Structure 1
């Protein structure tokens, strides 16, 4: 089984990423479950603005999308900015829009059916659950399955505070739930492999 983790931090490498630090807890748990995992820091790639799967020369999204479609699990990881998902995460969702008309050549099903999504959110202030809800809604729209308790998050509580990498505030909870996220997305992905979603169009 394969998973792709998209780190939607605003920071390009090699800057430290709080979101990646928590995402790595999910990755560790996925690796323990024998899931082959690829981490992509989206800010390192030229993901062009647009709503199609390929925006032309220089667009890095087609190669990233190929990896997503080759995996059974997608983990979206985003920081929280002004109570919202990052602009990078929003751009990723906009590019996902290009999948609406795309069907599997063999089954006729949308190419994202039977793929499972999970989520990681960090922030110095609150808003994490709102971010999860927004991203989950976007991915459901294009066909991803959302597992129960498929997200972990961390924030420093109300008001400004320290970042994830500089704080010890309740991090153990976030790490424990990261293990649950991995277990749940793998369980649902495994179930869908054995009994995939299928439907017949009305004639």
Structure 2
């Protein structure tokens, strides 16, 4: 059984600026690779994702291609930094564009995201990670993704200091352990969902 993952990096920093969000997203992809999951990543801010709640917002909108890759993957890794205790504006844009999935269904009335698994990764040097993970998982589940047990990983630096996740000499043991559990549970859940489709929507 082939399993694939797509990470959406919702940093505010365009490439090639180093990104702590990219680092934690890559760590999740690396952990998934240990379970034979093939992963790739998109830095959303590098693309012209238009505001709106439609699957395609017209000429020049980059979301349709991102959406194509998202729907082709079995696992979505949503990664965001923390700003003022909240997820990034780029992450919010992703949520808004995913709203269209509620009306994009298959022949059985199921959203095209049914059977796909979502996990969340958060970084920041301020509080907010638990709040962001809760908001993100609720939003992703609402548009049809399935959420595995312990599906969020985060790192918070010391409050009001300037050390970023990418500046650490090593990954904290708790972060690495949580990432490993998240990856194992996500891959396991996909293996259950792939041969067992959700029922048709009546």
When the two structures are superposed, what TM-score results if normalisation uses the length of structure 1?
A: 0.94
Residues 161-200 of structure 1 aligned to structure 2 (within 5 Å): 161-168=162-169, 171-200=172-201
Q: Which runs of 5+ in 2 are unaligned?
A: none
Q: Please give the secondary structure, in 1, of the residue aligned with 2:131.
A: helix
The residue aligned with 2:103 is 101
CA shift at 1:170, angstroms?
6.9
Residues 10-159 of structure 1 aligned to structure 2 (within 5 Å): 10-105=12-107, 107-159=108-160
Q: Please give the secondary structure, in 2, of the residue aligned with 1:149.
A: coil
Q: Please give the secondary structure, in 1, of the residue aligned with 2:179.
A: helix
Deviates more, 1:35-44 or 1:77-86: 35-44
CA shift at 1:151, angstroms?
1.3
> Cα RMSD (Å) of the superposition?
1.4
CA shift at 1:122, angstroms?
0.1
Q: Please give the secondary structure, in 2, of the residue aligned with 1:30.
A: helix
**Aligned counterparts of 1:65 and 1:91: Cα–Cα separation in 2:** 13
CA shift at 1:152, angstroms?
0.8
TM-aligned CA distance change 1:200 to 1:134, over 3 Å: closer
When the two structures are superposed, what TM-score results if normalisation uses the length of structure 2?
A: 0.94
Asked if 2 retains the 8 angstrom alpha-carbon contact of 1:126 and 1:155, the reply is yes
Deviates more, 1:158-167 or 1:118-127: 158-167
- Cα displacement string for residues 39-89 of structure 1 (whole angstroms, at most 9, x for unaligned residues): 011011111111111000110000000111111110100000000000000
CA shift at 1:179, angstroms?
1.2
**Aligned counterparts of 2:61 and 2:200: Cα–Cα separation in 1:** 34
List 4+ stretches of structure 1 deviating above 3 A. Answer: 157-161, 167-170
Q: Please give the secondary structure, in 1, of the residue aligned with 2:147.
A: strand
Asked if 2 retains the 8 angstrom alpha-carbon contact of 1:149 and 1:180, the reply is yes
- Cα displacement string for residues 110-153 of structure 1 (whole angstroms, at most 9, x for unaligned residues): 11111110010000111111111111111111111111111110
